[in-house]
A and B are shown apart, each in its own frame.
Chain A
């Protein structure tokens, strides 16, 4: 990214290797994720040279933190029904409405999202426009929402005639849905969750299991033995995801595309993530209940935070139910039905 204002500075395979090392080192979660994994690919594909030069370097340096503004109170899985509006004005747009579950908005600087610019369009997914805006702009109210364990994670956004200059429009007005889906359908399936997260966690899980199995000989060994198959499944799943992602990267490098296959990805990693962390917490027995804030010597530490984070996986970035619909309809050719 550092030298990339027209295209990414690293190949997908290099990115996979970087991620693997990042997680293997036990490095912390990144606040820049929304920008790096969603907005940056969108700008590479649909943004202007001016936008890439202006937005990407501070994003890469972590100086500008980005939030996403997609879901609305009445538009979750049925995202195309969204009602927040973008109205033309001199030199730009006026945004009004409400966004919610806006990841990282509680502490981010700017946000990107979809807005209805043409209420008269003949289908819900037409007439949407992709815009970026500042979270400290006049007319924006941010109400943080704590996640399941109370930590700040996302926020509600109330937008009242918020001015957005033309330079923060991505692509053409009315093309927002196509732009959003092109990044979602292609690289997002790969880049949203790198395999390094799971291979590193699986290795830590095996270490935990060996440690607990050793201890269990002196007390309750049955539990550790019954957990062996789940530990193995986590290892197998992490390896499968790693190889699947590498195969996807190879296909993209060879000029292919992923398309609906990224829905296979999404369901797989989100379920793997939960199963892996559940297994770790079960291995910890009575200590598994402690939160990551606990400082007891036997506290689960990152396993607890990882578990809470993993629980959201099947919900965000398109629920797993929506992904299964996509798999059934686009990969297996089943007829569309009522959702």
Chain B
């Protein structure tokens, strides 16, 4: 039994993290928020070069996946650098299309052929609206395709409605327009959509964890150099203990995230070891989503409080992570919805 990342997975995470550290993601995030997608797409291009966009796509469609552990590792790094765009939605859409193609109709096989190689290569950035994620499609204005699940139907939407401002301006929400092309229909759509929603929640949890880690790291650095009453504020216990609690939340979300990744690897019938208190794949993902979402949100509140007024400003880059933590907390399953899933019989 091994309950830790192997060397290759650790190295992969470091590579992605270092690569993103070398790009000016705050610039890309601010441009994205204005509807200028070129710098953000350039970051996605580099993620594709590192192999990140191929992780949810099966080998049959030019991907290397599904590799949820590696995707988790990469998305934690993406969250740490606040990469903009429909990261969770693109991975979930890939799982959805691949799931429908498997044993599906000729049409669903063709849809997978059309989109999955482009997703794997980072040439297509797609988004997805489904019941589990609410009525909006994230970053529909930037996406090359807007997929919409309605009950047992999968549609390629003809476009999207007006972009609705989000608490996180870099998350651009829009409703898919009705109609378009009906890609698949039947119980298989609902089943594949449920699996895709688990992947979206898992990916969102990974992004949350990375977001929270960035907030704690930045705040610890700030508290170490900001001086009041003649000493660094980070030497005061009131400050230390708040940061320590934020870190505890994140460090205990981490094993749940990788536990969920292992559960996703073993498929719908696999999941937790029989000893675990959490039931199945859906419950494992939900547990990770609650823990990572709440921990990142706590980290955001801590970061905001310990930076004082500086943290409350738009112009200071900390705001990019603070706003994202709040938005990710409710994306693809609010804490309450996920807690109910953990206890579902």
Binding site for B on A (CB under 8 A): 13, 20, 24, 199, 202-203, 206, 209-210, 228-229, 231-233, 235-244, 246-247, 249-251, 254, 261, 264, 267-268, 321, 323-325, 327-329, 331-339
How far in angstroms is the closest Cβ of chain A from B209? Answer: 12
How far in angstroms is the closest Cβ of chain B from A256? Answer: 9
How far in angstroms is the closest Cβ of chain A from B262? Answer: 9
B236 at the A interface (CB under 8 A): yes
Are B240 and A328 neighbours in the complex by a CB distance under 8 Å? yes
Q: Which residues of A contact B248 (CB under 8 A)?
A: 264, 267-268, 327
How far in angstroms is the closest Cβ of chain A from B120? Answer: 30
Binds A, one of B50-58, B111-119, B185-193, B250-258: B250-258
Q: Which of A13, A203, A254, A328 contacts B234, CB < 8 Å?
A: A328
Are A240 and B235 neighbours in the complex by a CB distance under 8 Å? no
Q: Which residues of A contact B129 (CB under 8 A)?
A: none
Are A339 and B237 neighbours in the complex by a CB distance under 8 Å? yes
How far in angstroms is the closest Cβ of chain A from B30? Answer: 28
B145 at the A interface (CB under 8 A): no
Query: How far apart are the CA atoms of A249 and B345 in the complex, in Å?
Result: 31
Supposing A247-B255, A321-B237 touch, asked if A332 and B1 sit within 8 A by C-beta, the answer is: no
Interface size on B, residues (CB 8 A): 46
**Binary contact readout B112-140 vs A (1 if CB under 8 angstroms, 0 otherwise):** 00000000000000000000000000000
Q: Which residues of A contact B258 (CB under 8 A)?
A: 243
Supposing A238-B277, A239-B276 touch, asked if A247 and B245 sit within 8 A by C-beta, the answer is: no
* Majority SS at the chain B contact face: helix
Binds A, one of B35-43, B216-224, B312-320: B216-224
B60 at the A interface (CB under 8 A): no
Q: Which of A239, A251, A336 contacts B256, CB < 8 Å?
A: A239
**Binary contact readout B1-34 vs A (1 if CB under 8 angstroms, 0 otherwise):** 1111000000000000000000000000000000
B343 at the A interface (CB under 8 A): yes
How far in angstroms is the closest Cβ of chain A from B58? Answer: 27
Q: Which residues of A contact B256 (CB under 8 A)?
A: 236, 239-240, 243
Binds A, one of B65-73, B152-160, B323-331, B334-342: B334-342
B296 at the A interface (CB under 8 A): no
Query: How far apart are the CA atoms of A329 and B243 in the complex, in Å?
Result: 10
Q: Which residues of B contact A246 (CB under 8 A)?
A: 1, 3, 255
Supposing A206-B343, A247-B3, A268-B252 touch, asked if A236 and B244 sit within 8 A by C-beta, the answer is: no
Q: Which of B223, B259, B343 contacts A334, CB < 8 Å?
A: B223
Closest 3 CB pairs of A and B: A337-B235, A243-B255, A328-B240
Q: Which residues of A contact B251 (CB under 8 A)?
A: 244, 261, 264
Q: Which residues of B contact A264 (CB under 8 A)?
A: 247-248, 251-252
